[in-house]
Structure 1
Amino acid sequence: MADPTDLPGGVVHDLPADLAEAVSRDVAACATWMSITPLARNEWICWVESAKKTETRLKRIDWGRENLSDGKRRPCCWPGCPHREEGTGAA
């Protein structure tokens, strides 16, 4: 198990504690998290944080951890972080 505080965040978003905790408990998800770019991490974080309901956020964290564990590098069907400023990378 990795230390959740050692996991890096994204370009715009810091890694929230609940997502860090879930990723850090899964060795494969943690390995994928550490291998993806800051822009990709940003997409996962923004996708989780954009949930309006707590239950949706929890589902996204669990689904995200599972997908990261399977080696997926970006959330499926996510148009990209709307918070990035132009010039910080492709959307």
Structure 2
Amino acid sequence: MADSFPHGTVHDAPEDLQAAVQASADLSSRWQALTPLGRNEFICWVTDAKQAATRQRRLERMGESLLAGKKRPCCWAGCTHRTDKAPGRWQQAVLIEGRHKRGS
């Protein structure tokens, strides 16, 4: 049987994210209404969590955000795994190279 769950442009939704989305008909319809890029941003944001507790909080927050009409994760610089778009300077410095400035 083919996988009918709508995934992102780069990332496939892991099982825990799929289960969270499919737990509610309203949430599922909102997920399906997202663009593939929007879904990709949520998938990357959730799977980027280093700890299980953080991942769980992000799954819960993703559901709340979708139900509130959000189309992207708040305060997320964006997926650095996309091959169709080069990372911005901020993404390159902070997310990829691990550099950041504190203060001014």
The alignment of Structure 1 onto Structure 2 pairs a total of residues equal to 84
Query: Which residue does 2:57 correspond to in 1?
Result: 59
* Unpaired segments ≥5 residues, structure 1: none
Q: Percent of pairs identical after alignment?
A: 46
TM-score by length of structure 1 reads: 0.85
Q: Once the 2 structures are TM-superposed, how far is the Cα of residue 74 of structure 1 from its aligned partner?
A: 0.6
Q: Distance in 2 between matches of 1:70 and 1:59?
A: 16
Query: Which residue does 2:84 correspond to in 1?
Result: 86
Q: Distance in 2 between matches of 1:68 and 1:27?
A: 12
CA RMSD, aligned part only? 1.5
* Unpaired segments ≥5 residues, structure 2: 87-104
Bigger Rg, structure 1 or 2 = 2
Q: Distance in 2 between matches of 1:50 and 1:38?
A: 18
Q: Distance in 2 between matches of 1:86 and 1:13?
A: 13
Displaced runs of 4+ in structure 1, greater than 3 A?
none
**Relative contact order: is structure 1 or structure 2 higher (C-alpha 8 Å, sep ≥ 6)?**
1
Q: Deviations over 1:9-59 (max 9, x none)?
A: 100000110000001112221111101110110000000000000000000
